[in-house]
């Protein structure tokens, strides 16, 4: 059975499923280093995206499951090796950003809650974000 993650933005909790078939090594690297907590920072150009720093805990060199950033489905959680960040995408992205992200999980419960919490991070920065192992 696929491993589950819990993503908490502020007080909002969502559940994500790890994409272990598509990105097994990435999933393991993430799973082995959870929990990871930081402030959520909102993307400035791409649109509906939160990001937070993965280093120093997690450094992944391989682009195991590359997906063009403007083609990721809402609810995608990915690792961006160009900037060692974990990203959470919660809507349709601006088409100008033609780069790959390493997609390793998909939010399967409460994406709507994440969207609202993420919008707060845009208007009032500083929301806490926590990625931990799910049940």
Partner 1 sequence: MSKRSGVETFLRTLDEKTATIWKEPPSELKKILEPAGPYASRFPIVIYSYWNANALAGDLWILRRNAKSGVSLSGLIPITKSIIDSNAVSFQVYGLTDTFDLLKEASTVLGEVKDVTEYVAIAEKLVVYLNRLGMSGWLDLLVPWQKLNSAFEEALQTGQLGFGVQKLVTGPDKS
Helical spans, DSSP H, in 17-97:
24-31
Of positions 55, 96, 99, 116, contacts partner 1 by CB under 8 A: 55
Of 8-16, 23-31, 76-84, 97-105, the window that binds partner 1 (rule: CB under 8 A) is 76-84
Does position 79 interact with partner 1 (CB under 8 A)? The reply is no
What x-and-dash track marks residues 93-122 binding partner 1 by CB under 8 A? -----------------------------x
Cβ of residue 122: shortest distance to partner 1, in angstroms? 5
Long-range pairs for 113-117: beta carbons < 8 A, 24 or more residues apart:
113/12, 113/13, 113/14, 114/7, 114/9, 114/12, 114/14, 114/75, 114/88, 114/90, 115/48, 115/90, 115/91, 116/12, 117/9, 117/10, 117/11, 117/12, 117/40
Does position 125 interact with partner 1 (CB under 8 A)? The reply is yes
Phi, psi of 6 (to 5 degrees): -115, 130
Does position 41 interact with partner 1 (CB under 8 A)? The reply is yes
Does position 91 interact with partner 1 (CB under 8 A)? The reply is no
**CA–CA distance, 100 with 131 (Å, rounded to integer):** 22
Does position 32 interact with partner 1 (CB under 8 A)? The reply is no
Which residues lie near partner 1 (CB under 8 A)? 38-39, 41-42, 44, 51-53, 55-56, 59, 61, 82-85, 122-123, 125-126
């Amino acid at each position: 059975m696929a491993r589950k993650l819990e993503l908490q933005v502020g007080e909002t909790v969502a559940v994500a499923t790890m994409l272990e078939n598509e990105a097994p090594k990435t999933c393991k690297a993430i799973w082995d280093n959870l929990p990871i907590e930081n402030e959520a920072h909102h993307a400035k150009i791409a649109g509906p995206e939160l990001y937070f720093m993965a280093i120093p805990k997690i450094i992944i060199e391989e682009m195991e499951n590359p997906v063009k950033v403007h083609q990721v489905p809402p609810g995608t959680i990915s690792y961006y090796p160009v900037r060692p960040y974990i990203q959470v995408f919660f809507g349709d992205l601006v088409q100008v950003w033609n780069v790959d992200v390493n997609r390793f999980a998909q939010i399967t419960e409460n994406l709507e809650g994440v969207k609202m919490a993420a919008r707060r991070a845009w208007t009032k920065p500083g929301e806490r974000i926590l990625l931990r192992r799910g049940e």
